[in-house]
Chains A and B, each alone.
Chain A
Amino acid sequence: MPRTTKVDCPGCPPLRALTFDVLGLVKVIQAQGKDSEIPKVVERWGEPDYSKSVLAASLVDRKFDPLLAVARKNGLIEVLNPLNGNLHVAISDNTDTSPPKDDAIIGMHLFAKDELALASRRCTLLSCTKKGNASMRSIDFSSSSSEDISTNIVKTWKVCGSGDVLCSKVDGSETHALFGGKGVEVNTWNLEQCTKIWTAKAPKKNSLGIFTPTCFTSVTFLSKDDHRKFAAGTSSHQVRLYDISAQKRPVISFDFRETPIKALAEDVDGNTIFVGNATGDLASFDIRNGKLLGCFLGKCSGSIRSIARHPEFPIIASCGLDSYVRFWDIKTRQLLSAVFLKQHLNGVVFDSHFVGEADTTHSAVDSIQQDIEISQTFSEEEHTPQKRKKASKEDGEGKKRKGASKENKKCKKKSHGETESKQR
């Protein structure tokens, strides 16, 4: 009999993810959380049209009235309802002087903490184009008719004089934003006052006197409530940790494989980051010491464009040019399942308020808690006895590591203190 390798998919806890592809389609992937069920594409929004290719997307993930903003290649920004795909409002990115073709939007953020939003159905979004035109605008779509959409650009500013911006990110408290790109050092902006507060300095020449030109391809903040620490990936396959409060040069920098870093995502604990590169390698690093925790192996062969971390379950999703969305377990680093979506994918986001079919009767909070419990038991059930042993071992190691890291932290604090004192 032919020996065939079966892709063993342990299945996923109940989750809902949205993916965005080059044909402008938004696909919804759901798993109901039953035993070893493979997630499926349940909905597809939009018609295949290459000019509507999705460049950036942002989701406001909340229980009541979630919003999804999608930037398209033809310069349109659409605000959708992520539950059913209904279009709230579509505005054109009116940079009337330059055609949208050579000034594409590269990053977008939809603000969640907006007091006005709930009351009068308005939302605020920050978008940044390749040439560094960042703009903040608030969109009002309270009236149902599409004619009187009032968009007023609150602020516009230039992020950089020259070079191409390739990545941007807004921190968890939504007061600061990061921009970086080809020929653009990473810089931090205060969004309330619209001022640049910090710019990185290029690392020194290496021992051969060779200076690598700056090209940042991805940035991410390490934790939600701290805007001072962030990680950046470069096209010279380097991951760097910056600390605004410490110095202008990277605190730690380390290499990962041999192709440019294309996607970065942070874990909720603020110590681990997930790194994806242009040949489809995905790995997790401990950012405090730059140590490789492990690689995610799953026959992935196309460049990773986007990584998303599920807010509650220990799951990440990755997608990219090989047109698969893959769900991974963070702890065991095993592939949970892979869904083939036919096109090159540009982004993936999680809708964390999705509840599986099993516990729709419970109230929201309970169900989420239960979900967590379920997921825990679920993940425990997944392991064969052997693996369980391994996991327990790993846990032990993890504890040790934690201990070690604590020491590290202390050291770091000390060093910080020293630097501060020196500055004084």
Chain B
Amino acid sequence: MGEEKKNRDLIPSMIKNKEKRAEVHANLKNQKKLEKRKRAKARDAAEKQALELGEEPPPRKTPRTIENTREVDETVCKPDDEELFAGNDADEFSSIIKRDIVPKVLITTCRFNSSIGPDFISELLSVIPNAHYYKRGTNDLKKIIEYANARDFTSLIVVHTSRRKLDGLLIIGLPEGPTAHFKISNVVLRKDIKNHGNPTGHEPELVLTNFTTRLGLRIGRLIQTLFPQDPNFRGRRVVTFHNQRDFIFFRHHRYIFEGKENKKEVDSKTKSKDKGEKASQPKVVARLQECGPRFTMKLISLQHGTFDTKGGEYEWVHKPEMDTSRRRFFL
């Protein structure tokens, strides 16, 4: 017993002999594991006992994650903020979100694009309704913006590639901006997804999650303007932009509600007639089928107004000095 106590007090990293150190460390680890198991067992037992006695089980603890220990941010939108709503009513996206204008999207590549660009764009075209691909040629982006403005486009997407890999995505709201520049990574095209589905031409539903701050809300609204505001629920097509730790995950799914009869219930149906009614109501199961592409975006900058690298004003730029903590998020 005395030795054990000694061992506990020792810090393994202070021991200079490697063999001994490894042994002590392994011991310590084992003990910790046992203790943890004991605690879990005790907790389970308490819960079971409470259930048997008909009491409320003790509340389960929530694990501490980076998201729920996020640094306090005063720019997080509050639901009772009248200035926020007034600001939203007046911003560049309100005319589309109020359904006064139907969104029309122009998609183009960077100037020296490789084949991955058009491949990716052909899939984007199937995701975004009323999107048109134009070859970039040697046109300047500012000229393209003028052209798109003249033709009543509401947004412009530029897909950037380098070394035959996608690396950037520019989303420009027309005619007044803003311009969001995203880094794009983890691209999986449709043909590389196993058991992928093929989307229909219906207007998709849009899911935007976790865009909480003022900046996040603005980005969310910018993405919202790419899609028509009246989804066709017959298509059962859903496009998701999920924000987690400032990374925006894009997914595109088809869903289906299937009536599925449970085998056990079928068995019980034959056994007893009382449960027959229940079994006749088929259990509804929602199933998802992914129809790509799949990619991740990260915001690099948000520019006020349309694309202008020389004279443009930035609303938000990522700077290295802002990364002071892992728990600081901007969207």
Chain B nearest CB, measured from A396 CB (Å): 28
Which residues 239-271 of A sit at the B interface, judged by CB distance below 8 A? 259-260, 262
* Minimum CB distance partner of B66 in chain A: A2
* CB < 8 Å neighbour of B327 from A2, A236, A323: A2
A278 CB–B CB distance under 8 Å: yes
B214 CB–A CB distance under 8 Å: yes
A48-B82 contact in complex given A301-B318, A303-B304, C-beta closer than 8 Å: yes
CB-based contact B86/A4 at 8 Å: no
CB-based contact A321/B86 at 8 Å: no
CB-based contact B71/A279 at 8 Å: no
Q: How far is the CA of A299 from the CA of B321 in the complex (A)?
A: 6
CB-based contact B312/A278 at 8 Å: yes
Residues of B within 8 A of A322 (CB): 315-316
Q: How far is the CA of A235 from the CA of B308 in the complex (A)?
A: 12
* CB < 8 Å neighbour of A48 from B69, B83, B328: B83
B54 CB–A CB distance under 8 Å: no
B271 CB–A CB distance under 8 Å: no
Residues of B within 8 A of A344 (CB): 304, 315
Chain A nearest CB, measured from B57 CB (Å): 28
Residues of B within 8 A of A321 (CB): 304, 313-315
A342-B315 contact in complex given A2-B69, A5-B325, A50-B90, C-beta closer than 8 Å: no
A334 CB–B CB distance under 8 Å: no
Which residues 9-57 of A sit at the B interface, judged by CB distance below 8 A? 22-23, 25, 48-50
Give B44-83 as 1s and 0s: 1 = Cβ < 8 Å from A's Cβ atoms: 0000000000000000000010000101101100000111
Q: How far is the CA of A22 from the CA of B317 in the complex (A)?
A: 20
Give B299-327 as 1s and 0s: 1 = Cβ < 8 Å from A's Cβ atoms: 00000100000111111111101101101
Residues of B within 8 A of A25 (CB): 83
Q: How far is the CA of A108 from the CA of B124 in the complex (A)?
A: 48
Residues of B within 8 A of A23 (CB): 83, 86-87, 90
Residues of A within 8 A of B318 (CB): 301
Q: How far is the CA of A22 from the CA of B325 in the complex (A)?
A: 32
Residues of B within 8 A of A278 (CB): 312-314
Q: How far is the CA of A322 from the CA of B72 in the complex (A)?
A: 17
Q: How far is the CA of A359 from the CA of B81 in the complex (A)?
A: 35
B89 CB–A CB distance under 8 Å: yes
Chain B nearest CB, measured from A104 CB (Å): 14
A303-B90 contact in complex given A3-B325, A4-B71, A342-B81, C-beta closer than 8 Å: no
B84 CB–A CB distance under 8 Å: yes
* Minimum CB distance partner of A217 in chain B: B311
A223 CB–B CB distance under 8 Å: no
A302 CB–B CB distance under 8 Å: yes
Q: How far is the CA of A422 from the CA of B304 in the complex (A)?
A: 49
Residues of B within 8 A of A3 (CB): 325, 327
A5-B324 contact in complex given A299-B319, A302-B315, C-beta closer than 8 Å: yes
Chain A nearest CB, measured from B63 CB (Å): 13
Which residues 255-299 of A sit at the B interface, judged by CB distance below 8 A? 259-260, 262, 278-280, 297, 299
CB-based contact B314/A303 at 8 Å: yes
A303-B315 contact in complex given A5-B71, A5-B324, A323-B214, C-beta closer than 8 Å: yes
A340 CB–B CB distance under 8 Å: yes
A215 CB–B CB distance under 8 Å: yes
CB-based contact B83/A297 at 8 Å: no
Residues of A within 8 A of B74 (CB): 340
A260-B310 contact in complex given A4-B71, A301-B316, C-beta closer than 8 Å: yes
CB-based contact A280/B90 at 8 Å: no
Q: How far is the CA of A108 from the CA of B95 in the complex (A)?
A: 32
CB-based contact A342/B325 at 8 Å: no
Q: How far is the CA of A301 from the CA of B323 in the complex (A)?
A: 12
Residues of A within 8 A of B72 (CB): 4
Q: How far is the CA of A303 from the CA of B316 in the complex (A)?
A: 8
Q: How far is the CA of A322 from the CA of B322 in the complex (A)?
A: 14
Q: How far is the CA of A299 from the CA of B86 in the complex (A)?
A: 27
A133 CB–B CB distance under 8 Å: no
Chain A nearest CB, measured from B82 CB (Å): 7
Chain B nearest CB, measured from A163 CB (Å): 14
A343 CB–B CB distance under 8 Å: yes
Q: How far is the CA of A409 from the CA of B90 in the complex (A)?
A: 52
CB-based contact A48/B317 at 8 Å: no
Residues of B within 8 A of A259 (CB): 312, 314
* Minimum CB distance partner of B315 in chain A: A321
CB-based contact B327/A4 at 8 Å: yes
* Minimum CB distance partner of A4 in chain B: B71
Q: How far is the CA of A343 from the CA of B324 in the complex (A)?
A: 25
Q: How far is the CA of A340 from the CA of B317 in the complex (A)?
A: 17
Which residues 289-346 of A sit at the B interface, judged by CB distance below 8 A? 297, 299, 301-303, 321-323, 340, 342-344
Q: Which of B74, B82, B310, B327 has the most CB of A within 10 A?
A: B310
Chain A nearest CB, measured from B324 CB (Å): 4
Residues of A within 8 A of B313 (CB): 260, 262, 278, 303, 321
Q: How far is the CA of A301 from the CA of B87 in the complex (A)?
A: 20
Residues of A within 8 A of B69 (CB): 2
* Minimum CB distance partner of B327 in chain A: A2
Which residues 223-257 of B sit at the A interface, judged by CB distance below 8 A? none
CB-based contact A50/B89 at 8 Å: yes
Q: Which of A49, A236, A262, A301 has the most CB of B within 10 A?
A: A301
CB-based contact B310/A280 at 8 Å: no
Q: How far is the CA of A297 from the CA of B320 in the complex (A)?
A: 12
Q: How far is the CA of A322 from the CA of B84 in the complex (A)?
A: 15
A49-B86 contact in complex given A301-B317, A321-B315, C-beta closer than 8 Å: yes
Q: How far is the CA of A25 from the CA of B84 in the complex (A)?
A: 13
Residues of B within 8 A of A22 (CB): 87, 90
Chain B nearest CB, measured from A371 CB (Å): 29
* CB < 8 Å neighbour of A302 from B82, B86, B312, B316: B316
| Given A278-B313, A340-B74, A342-B81; 8 other pairs, CB 8 A cutoff | A2-B69, A5-B71, A22-B90, A260-B311, A278-B314, A280-B317, A302-B315, A303-B313
A-B interface, 6 closest residue pairs, ranked by CB to CB distance from nearest: A50-B90, A48-B86, A303-B313, A2-B69, A5-B324, A278-B313
A-B contact pairs, 23 of them (CB 8 A): A2-B64, A4-B72, A5-B325, A22-B87, A23-B86, A23-B90, A50-B86, A278-B313, A279-B317, A279-B319, A299-B321, A299-B324, A301-B314, A301-B316, A301-B317, A301-B318, A301-B319, A303-B304, A321-B304, A321-B315, A322-B316, A342-B81, A344-B315
CB within 8 Å of A: which residues of B? 64, 69, 71-72, 74-75, 81-84, 86-87, 89-90, 214, 304, 310-319, 321-322, 324-325, 327-328
